[in-house]
Amino acid sequence: MKSFKLNNGIEIPAIGFGTWQIPDGNEAYQAVKEAITAGYTHIDTAAIYGNEKSVGKAIKDSGLDRSSLFITTKLWNTERGYEKAIAAFEKSLNDLQLDYLDLYLIHWPANEAQFENWAEINADTWKALEYLYQQGKVRAIGVSNFPKEYLKKLLETATVVPSINQIEFHPGYLQEDTVALCQSNTILVQAWSPLGSGRILQNETLLKLAQEKNTSVGQLCIKFALSQGILPLPKSTNPQNIKRNLDIDSFDLTESDIQRIRAFPEMGFSGSDPKKVAF
């Protein structure tokens, strides 16, 4: 598996396995086991997904050396603030049965729709992540769903520059301003819903392009994210799709294919605008 190098020098496998909406218990356990068997070494979960225990069990049972895996989880919105964030981190670590994390993210910023002091809350939460990083409990720290203005504000007080911003990104939803700010500040962008959570898989232009390349729309979307210097996190519980989503070297995307995809009008947006969400 290829990798990206983060701004603190650590390597992160270039495709991660997403686990949102995979129920805790056998389903999450089997999906993660299947993914590891297929060759994923990078797993993305979150406290709010409710499946950290099963993800952790699958990791443990894989028998792989801990250092060969890259595990991410995220701080949920109810746990913002310095003390609560540290406690939430410890709970996630415990649920995952791990003694360190590779990446810990603030899942969503406190936003202006809910908090007058949103910037202060985010700065305070970030301090907790900096502390965990400095203690060596996590190898890299980052944010998720931080739009350009929120990231700029955070950078004013941060002593550690986030390594990652995990945002919605797929054909038809490129968030160009946020991506540009991240990329000019050495912050790697991760694509959540790189397949538009399934909403863009029937797009006719993508289907046609996939057919021309003898591949699937899912694989095309994954390769497209990578072509933009963005790390995709495809999710699947289907063993065939799990394998397929790593098989992206059998076709090429030309500059003209990429421009065609970049030119799509907005489609497949989840509807979750970080500045407006009420959670």
Ligand X SMILES: NC(=O)c1ccc[n+]([C@@H]2O[C@H](COP(=O)([O-])OP(=O)(O)OC[C@H]3O[C@@H](n4cnc5c(N)ncnc54)[C@H](OP(=O)(O)O)[C@@H]3O)[C@@H](O)[C@H]2O)c1
Nearest to 109 by CA among 140, 71, 155: 155
- Can residue 18 be called a binding residue for ligand X (CB under 6 A)? yes
Output 246 or 258, the one with its CB closest to ligand X.
246
Catalytic residue among 40, 49, 133, 150: 49
Separation of alpha carbons 143 and 137, rounded Å: 17
User: Which DSSP string corresponds to 177-237?
Assistant: HHHHHHHHTTPEEEEESTTGGGTTTT-HHHHHHHHHTTS-HHHHHHHHHHHTT-EE--B-S
Q: Is 29 a catalytic residue?
A: no
Q: Which is nearer to ligand X, 40 or 134 (CB)?
A: 40
CB 130, CB 139: distance < 8 Å: no
Distances in whole angstroms, Cα of residue 189 to Cα of each of 28, 55, 145, 166, 243: 25, 23, 10, 6, 23
Q: If binding is defined by CB under 6 A, does position 19 make contact with ligand X?
A: yes
> For residues 20 and 264, which CB has a smaller minimum distance to ligand X in the complex?
20
Q: Is 54 helix (H, G, I), strand (E, B) or coil?
A: helix
User: Should residue 194 be labelled a site residue for ligand X when binding is judged by CB under 6 A?
Assistant: yes
76 binds ligand X (CB under 6 A): no
Sorted by sequence, the CB contacts under 8 Å of residue 15 that are 6+ apart come out as 1, 40, 42, 222, 226, 231, 232, 233, 234, 245, 246, 248
Q: Choose which of 162, 171, 172, 234 interacts with ligand X (CB under 6 A).
A: 234
Binding status of residue 244 toward ligand X by CB under 6 A: yes
Asked if 77 is part of the footprint of ligand X (rule: CB under 6 A), the reply reads no
Least Cβ distance, residue 104 to ligand X (angstroms): 12
- 23 is a site residue for ligand X (CB under 6 A): no
Q: Which residue is nearest to ligand X (CB)?
A: 18
| Stretch 200-219 residues interacting with ligand X (CB under 6 A) | 201, 216, 218
Residue 192 near ligand X by CB under 6 A? yes
**β-strands 3-5, 11-13: how paired?**
antiparallel
Cross-strand partners of 128: none
Q: Which stretch binds ligand X (CB under 6 A): 58-66, 87-95, 115-123, 190-198?
A: 190-198
- Interface with ligand X, residue 111, by CB under 6 A: no
Q: Are 219 and 247 in contact (CB under 8 A)?
A: yes
> 83 or 138, CB closer to ligand X?
138
List the catalytic residues: 49
List contacts with ligand X (CB under 6 A): 18-21, 44, 107, 144-145, 166, 192-198, 201, 216, 218, 233-238, 241, 244-245
